């Protein structure tokens, strides 16, 4: 029987008690997603100013970025389950409060350790917040076409947040101070907390389950250790102790997590029964691959613009803006097509854009013109991302009960983030090996071109995996 992207059953006491209109809920979840993704990239251009003011070591400065990314990815499963057990408004507002408080501390920090600690706390807040936004979409937008459009808007908000980071970070650091890269979150967060209190229900779910502490500790620690090891692979060899030690420990902890969830947990944090749903298993595997595609697009084209074509950081951010706009437009229109076209055609169309766009981008060199060497292919790749990402998010959560919406949101975002971390490590290694230690524009271009060819291969893998997804074709309830 053909599966359909129907809305999941409602969580008892949440949908009916909703107090805000759907447009307000959509603005809330999109703004939250924009903010947490923005904070992944907005700090990058402020790092030199932070270093001058606070006196970081070279290794310590990297943790201003890595501290946030590590806890953001590592705690999302726990954050997703918290939304299911304690209610979406509680999880979302708790995440906002922690995120804003940590942003305030970061903006006022005068010691390196204080700033890094605040960034770690920001990541935990984001990990509570981000899965809750997906859970809100799953349980608040009950008509399939409306729900698909909400996923499109949410996806576009995250993509624009990632791209706006370089521009906003450069403008705030230049015009005010690096501290405002963090402090700007405080008034925005306060406004979002007020909106959440107005738009979302305050009722707790009807479930009386306890949080799976053992599963939470082993799953979160395992993910964090694995990602920590992967992060170090760009500075050390894959067989080095700083990489293998944490990575092996992380895998062992994840193995313990699976055993605990399968055999011992009365109320498991990650019910393994969900992985028996084909859309969940295949969709999350594809999101792992998609993380590598996204890293290759945004991270390495920014490096190409700066290190090969000689752009400044702000110029590079502006140079990627057309692709961000294209992604935003296509994500919205692609989500509107989903009820009529179905999952597989959109995935295959997006994958074709990946293969063609990255194949074109791999021809760029030190003498390439921006319009033909960078703009054209990145617009094509952004089209593929806009078609693929909201489609994957909708397909991954399509056949899931509403009571598990939070954990599925956490799992989907964990897969995407882990795929990005792994993809970054693998692709940086490929680029470095190809450049062979040279720093000339021609050598760096050769390294980046190899990355783009690998990304085209990942696009083919996504297309092949897409054939395993259920043949979803959502219909409007009638």
What's 318-344 look like in SS3?
HHHHHHHHHHHHHHHHHHHHHHHHCHH
Of 113-117, 141-145, 352-356, give the lowest mean pLDDT range. 141-145
Q: What tokens appear for 371 in the block?
A: 């319009």
Contact between 141 and 405 (Cβ < 8 Å)? no
Give the pLDDT score at 80. 76
Angstrom CA distances, 116 to 71, 122, 126, 294, stand at: 12, 10, 15, 26
pLDDT in tens, 43-89: 776 777 787 888 877 557 767 877 787 788 777 777 777 777 777 78
Q: Please determine, for residue 13, whether its predicted confidence score (pLDDT) is greater than 60.
A: no
Q: How far apart, in whole angstroms, are the C-alpha atoms of residue 455 and residue 197?
A: 42
Contacts of 200 (CB under 8 A, 6+ apart): 18, 19, 20, 25, 28, 88, 89, 92, 136
Contact between 7 and 399 (Cβ < 8 Å)? no
Q: Which of 21, 8, 419, 58 is nearest to 235 (CA)?
A: 58
Q: How far apart, in whole angstroms, are the C-alpha atoms of residue 361 and residue 377?
A: 6
Of 103-107, 259-263, 454-458, 463-467, give the lowest mean pLDDT range. 259-263
- pLDDT band of 12, cuts 50, 70, 90: very low
pLDDT in tens, 370-423: 888 899 999 999 899 888 887 887 777 666 655 666 677 677 777 777 777 777
- Identify the sign of the CA torsion 136, 195, 334, 285: negative
Contact between 181 and 42 (Cβ < 8 Å)? yes
CA dihedral of residues 13, 18, 23, 28 (deg, nearest 10): -80
Q: What tokens appear for 85 in the block?
A: 């057990």
- pLDDT band of 474, cuts 50, 70, 90: very low
Homologous superfamily assigned to 22-211+269-466: MFS general substrate transporter like domains (1.20.1250.20)
Q: Which of 255, 270, 125 is nearest to 212 (CA)?
A: 270
Of 102-106, 226-230, 383-387, give the lowest mean pLDDT range. 226-230
Contacts of 172 (CB under 8 A, 6+ apart): 42, 46, 178, 180, 181, 184
Contact between 443 and 309 (Cβ < 8 Å)? no
Average pLDDT, the chain: 78
Angle, vertex CA 276, rays to CA 274 and CA 278, nearest 5: 100
Q: Which of 394, 420, 349 is nearest to 151 (CA)?
A: 394
Q: Please determine, for residue 162, whether its predicted confidence score (pLDDT) is greater than 90.
A: no
Query: Angle, to 10 degrees, between the axis of helix 88-108 and the axis of helix 185-199?
Result: 170
Q: Which of 125, 1, 108, 13 is nearest to 68 (CA)?
A: 125
Of 315-324, 333-342, 468-477, give the lowest mean pLDDT range. 468-477
């Amino acid at each position: 029987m053909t599966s359909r992207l129907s809305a999941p059953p409602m969580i008892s006491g949440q949908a009916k008690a909703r107090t805000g209109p759907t447009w307000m809920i959509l603005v809330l979840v999109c703004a939250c997603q924009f903010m947490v993704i923005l904070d992944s990239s907005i700090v990058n251009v402020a790092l030199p100013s932070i270093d001058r003011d606070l006196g970081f070591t070279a290794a310590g400065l990297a943790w201003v970025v890595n501290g946030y990314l590590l806890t953001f990815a590592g705690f999302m499963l726990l954050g997703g389950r918290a939304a299911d057990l304690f209610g979406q408004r509680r999880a979302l507002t708790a995440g906002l409060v922690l995120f804003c408080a940590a942003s305030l501390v970061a903006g006022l920090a005068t010691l390196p350790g204080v700033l890094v600690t605040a960034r770690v706390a920001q990541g935990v807040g984001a990990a509570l917040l981000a899965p809750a936004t997906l859970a809100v979409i799953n349980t608040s937008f009950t008509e399939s076409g409306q729900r698909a459009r909400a996923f499109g808007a949410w996806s576009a908000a995250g993509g624009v947040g990632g791209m706006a980071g370089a521009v906003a970070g450069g403008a705030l650091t230049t015009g005010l101070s690096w501290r405002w890269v963090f402090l700007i979150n405080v008034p925005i967060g306060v406004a979002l907390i007020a909106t959440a209190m107005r738009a979302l229900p305050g009722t707790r779910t009807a479930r009386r389950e306890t949080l799976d502490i053992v599963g939470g500790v082993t799953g979160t620690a395992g993910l964090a250790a694995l990602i920590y090891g992967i992060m170090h692979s760009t500075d050390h060899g894959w067989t080095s102790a700083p990489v293998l030690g944490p990575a092996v420990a992380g895998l062992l902890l994840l193995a313990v997590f699976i055993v605990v969830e399968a055999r011992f947990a009365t109320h498991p944090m990650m019910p393994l029964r969900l992985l028996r749903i084909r859309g969940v298993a295949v969709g999350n595997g594809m999101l792992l691959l998609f993380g590598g595609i996204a890293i290759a697009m945004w991270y390495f084209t920014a490096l190409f613009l700066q290190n090969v074509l000689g752009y400044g950081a702000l110029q590079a951010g502006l140079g990627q803006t057309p692709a961000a706009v294209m992604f935003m437009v296509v994500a919205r229109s692609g989500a509107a097509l989903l009820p009529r076209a179905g999952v597989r055609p959109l995935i295959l169309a997006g994958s074709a854009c990946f293969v063609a766009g990255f194949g074109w981008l791999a021809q760029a060199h030190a003498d390439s013109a921006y319009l033909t060497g960078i703009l054209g292919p990145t617009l094509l790749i952004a089209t593929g991302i806009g078609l693929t990402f909201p489609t994957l998010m909708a397909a991954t959560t399509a056949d899931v009960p509403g009571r598990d919406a939070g954990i599925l949101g956490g799992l989907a975002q964990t897969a995407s983030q882990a795929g990005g971390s792994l993809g970054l490590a693998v692709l940086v290694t490929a680029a470095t090996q190809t450049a062979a230690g040279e720093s000339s524009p021609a050598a760096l271009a050769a390294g980046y071109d190899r990355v783009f060819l690998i990304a085209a291969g990942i696009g083919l893998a996504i297309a092949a995996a897409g054939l395993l997804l259920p043949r979803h074709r959502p219909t409007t309830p009638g």
